[in-house]
Amino acid sequence: MLLIRPSLPSRCSCSCGFSFVEIMAALAILAITLVTVIIAQSQSMALVEKARDISFVTEVARTKMAELELEFHSKGFGEIDENMSGEFEEEELADLRWSYELTKIEIPGVAGSEKAAASGGPVGLGMISDALSKSIRQLQLRVYWGSEEKGEYLEIVSLLTNSKELPRINVPSKS
Protein backbone atom coordinates (compact mmCIF):
# COMPACT_ATOMS: atom_id res chain seq x y z
CA MET A 1 0.00 0.00 0.00
CA LEU A 2 1.19 3.22 -0.96
CA LEU A 3 1.06 6.06 1.47
CA ILE A 4 0.57 9.46 0.12
CA ARG A 5 1.71 12.20 2.25
CA PRO A 6 0.18 15.57 1.94
CA SER A 7 2.66 17.95 0.58
CA LEU A 8 3.73 20.89 2.69
CA PRO A 9 3.40 24.25 1.13
CA SER A 10 6.58 25.39 -0.33
CA ARG A 11 8.11 28.65 0.64
CA CYS A 12 7.23 31.40 -1.77
CA SER A 13 9.68 34.01 -2.64
CA CYS A 14 7.11 36.88 -2.64
CA SER A 15 6.81 39.10 0.42
CA CYS A 16 3.49 39.37 2.21
CA GLY A 17 3.42 42.91 3.69
CA PHE A 18 4.52 46.48 3.24
CA SER A 19 8.04 47.64 3.06
CA PHE A 20 9.45 50.25 5.42
CA VAL A 21 9.46 52.89 2.66
CA GLU A 22 5.77 52.33 1.93
CA ILE A 23 4.87 52.70 5.60
CA MET A 24 6.90 55.92 5.91
CA ALA A 25 5.21 57.40 2.80
CA ALA A 26 1.76 56.59 4.22
CA LEU A 27 2.66 58.21 7.56
CA ALA A 28 3.94 61.34 5.79
CA ILE A 29 0.68 61.69 3.85
CA LEU A 30 -1.31 61.20 7.06
CA ALA A 31 0.78 63.80 8.91
CA ILE A 32 0.33 66.41 6.15
CA THR A 33 -3.43 65.80 6.10
CA LEU A 34 -3.75 66.10 9.88
CA VAL A 35 -1.74 69.34 9.99
CA THR A 36 -3.98 70.82 7.28
CA VAL A 37 -7.13 69.85 9.19
CA ILE A 38 -5.78 71.32 12.45
CA ILE A 39 -4.85 74.62 10.74
CA ALA A 40 -8.30 74.87 9.13
CA GLN A 41 -9.98 74.20 12.48
CA SER A 42 -7.94 76.86 14.30
CA GLN A 43 -8.73 79.43 11.58
CA SER A 44 -12.43 78.66 11.82
CA MET A 45 -12.30 79.12 15.60
CA ALA A 46 -10.64 82.52 15.14
CA LEU A 47 -13.37 83.53 12.67
CA VAL A 48 -16.09 82.39 15.09
CA GLU A 49 -14.52 84.50 17.84
CA LYS A 50 -14.33 87.56 15.57
CA ALA A 51 -17.97 87.10 14.49
CA ARG A 52 -19.00 86.85 18.14
CA ASP A 53 -17.13 90.09 18.93
CA ILE A 54 -18.73 91.92 16.01
CA SER A 55 -22.22 90.73 17.02
CA PHE A 56 -21.66 91.86 20.60
CA VAL A 57 -20.28 95.26 19.54
CA THR A 58 -23.22 95.71 17.14
CA GLU A 59 -25.71 95.26 19.97
CA VAL A 60 -23.75 97.64 22.21
CA ALA A 61 -23.64 100.24 19.40
CA ARG A 62 -27.37 99.93 18.76
CA THR A 63 -28.05 100.50 22.45
CA LYS A 64 -25.75 103.54 22.55
CA MET A 65 -27.38 104.93 19.38
CA ALA A 66 -30.83 104.60 21.00
CA GLU A 67 -29.58 106.43 24.12
CA LEU A 68 -28.15 109.25 21.99
CA GLU A 69 -31.34 109.55 19.94
CA LEU A 70 -33.42 109.84 23.13
CA GLU A 71 -31.05 112.49 24.48
CA PHE A 72 -31.18 114.53 21.25
CA HIS A 73 -34.96 114.34 21.03
CA SER A 74 -35.41 115.43 24.64
CA LYS A 75 -32.82 118.25 24.69
CA GLY A 76 -32.82 119.43 21.09
CA PHE A 77 -29.84 119.87 18.82
CA GLY A 78 -28.62 123.19 20.20
CA GLU A 79 -27.85 121.89 23.69
CA ILE A 80 -25.75 118.87 22.66
CA ASP A 81 -22.03 118.76 21.91
CA GLU A 82 -21.29 118.08 18.26
CA ASN A 83 -18.34 115.76 19.02
CA MET A 84 -17.97 113.59 22.06
CA SER A 85 -16.19 110.40 23.08
CA GLY A 86 -15.99 108.23 26.15
CA GLU A 87 -15.93 104.77 27.66
CA PHE A 88 -18.81 102.58 28.72
CA GLU A 89 -19.52 102.48 32.44
CA GLU A 90 -20.52 98.81 32.64
CA GLU A 91 -17.84 96.41 33.84
CA GLU A 92 -18.36 93.90 31.02
CA LEU A 93 -17.83 96.70 28.48
CA ALA A 94 -14.53 97.90 29.96
CA ASP A 95 -12.50 97.32 26.78
CA LEU A 96 -14.99 99.21 24.55
CA ARG A 97 -14.85 102.92 23.73
CA TRP A 98 -17.24 105.14 21.77
CA SER A 99 -17.31 108.45 19.95
CA TYR A 100 -19.90 110.33 18.00
CA GLU A 101 -20.08 113.25 15.63
CA LEU A 102 -23.24 115.23 15.01
CA THR A 103 -23.21 117.19 11.76
CA LYS A 104 -25.71 119.49 10.14
CA ILE A 105 -27.13 118.28 6.84
CA GLU A 106 -27.30 120.84 4.09
CA ILE A 107 -30.22 120.24 1.79
CA PRO A 108 -29.65 122.03 -1.49
CA GLY A 109 -32.30 124.56 -2.39
CA VAL A 110 -34.38 124.24 -5.48
CA ALA A 111 -32.55 125.40 -8.58
CA GLY A 112 -33.72 128.84 -9.49
CA SER A 113 -35.40 129.60 -6.15
CA GLU A 114 -33.37 132.82 -5.84
CA LYS A 115 -34.47 133.85 -9.31
CA ALA A 116 -38.06 133.05 -8.44
CA ALA A 117 -37.83 135.15 -5.28
CA ALA A 118 -36.32 138.08 -7.22
CA SER A 119 -39.07 137.96 -9.81
CA GLY A 120 -41.81 137.66 -7.20
CA GLY A 121 -42.47 133.98 -7.91
CA PRO A 122 -42.99 131.09 -5.46
CA VAL A 123 -40.26 130.65 -2.90
CA GLY A 124 -41.90 127.89 -0.85
CA LEU A 125 -39.48 125.14 -1.85
CA GLY A 126 -36.46 127.18 -0.81
CA MET A 127 -38.06 127.86 2.56
CA ILE A 128 -38.77 124.16 3.01
CA SER A 129 -35.19 123.16 2.24
CA ASP A 130 -33.92 125.78 4.72
CA ALA A 131 -36.32 124.52 7.40
CA LEU A 132 -35.28 120.91 6.82
CA SER A 133 -31.58 121.84 7.00
CA LYS A 134 -32.20 123.34 10.45
CA SER A 135 -34.05 120.28 11.75
CA ILE A 136 -32.02 117.34 10.37
CA ARG A 137 -28.68 116.10 11.70
CA GLN A 138 -26.44 113.19 10.82
CA LEU A 139 -25.29 111.17 13.83
CA GLN A 140 -22.17 109.09 13.23
CA LEU A 141 -21.41 106.71 16.11
CA ARG A 142 -18.26 104.59 16.34
CA VAL A 143 -17.64 101.85 18.89
CA TYR A 144 -13.99 100.78 19.21
CA TRP A 145 -12.75 97.51 20.69
CA GLY A 146 -9.46 95.77 21.19
CA SER A 147 -6.15 97.56 21.20
CA GLU A 148 -5.82 101.01 19.68
CA GLU A 149 -3.07 99.74 17.35
CA LYS A 150 -5.52 97.41 15.60
CA GLY A 151 -8.04 100.19 15.23
CA GLU A 152 -11.08 97.90 15.07
CA TYR A 153 -14.37 99.76 15.19
CA LEU A 154 -17.99 99.55 14.14
CA GLU A 155 -19.65 102.62 12.67
CA ILE A 156 -23.36 103.38 12.60
CA VAL A 157 -24.79 106.41 10.81
CA SER A 158 -28.31 107.67 11.38
CA LEU A 159 -30.29 110.74 10.38
CA LEU A 160 -32.13 112.47 13.21
CA THR A 161 -34.95 114.95 12.93
CA ASN A 162 -36.04 117.39 15.55
CA SER A 163 -39.59 118.56 15.04
CA LYS A 164 -39.01 121.38 17.57
CA GLU A 165 -36.69 122.99 15.03
CA LEU A 166 -39.25 122.91 12.22
CA PRO A 167 -41.02 126.22 11.72
CA ARG A 168 -44.79 126.20 11.70
CA ILE A 169 -46.04 127.07 8.24
CA ASN A 170 -49.56 128.39 7.95
CA VAL A 171 -51.12 127.36 4.72
CA PRO A 172 -53.94 129.65 3.69
CA SER A 173 -57.15 127.83 3.05
CA LYS A 174 -59.03 128.42 -0.16
CA SER A 175 -62.43 129.93 0.47
In tens, the pLDDT along 72-113 reads: 888 777 656 688 899 998 888 888 999 999 888 877 655 545
- Is 9 within the bounds of a domain? no
pLDDT tens-digit map of 24-61: 999 999 999 999 999 999 999 999 999 998 999 999 99
Q: Distance between CA atoms of 134 and 70, rounded to whole angstroms?
A: 19
Q: Would residue 175 count as lying in a domain?
A: no
The domain of 73 spans: 21-165
The number of folded domains in the chain is 1
Look at residues 63, 170, 126 and name the one whose alpha carbon lies nearest to residue 71. 63
At 25, phi and psi to the nearest 5? -65, -40
Residue 90 lies in a domain: yes
Residue 32 belongs to a domain: yes
Compute the distance between CA of residue 28 and CA of residue 36 in angstroms, rounded to an integer.
12
Nearby residues of 161 by Cβ (< 8 Å), 6 or more positions away: 135, 136
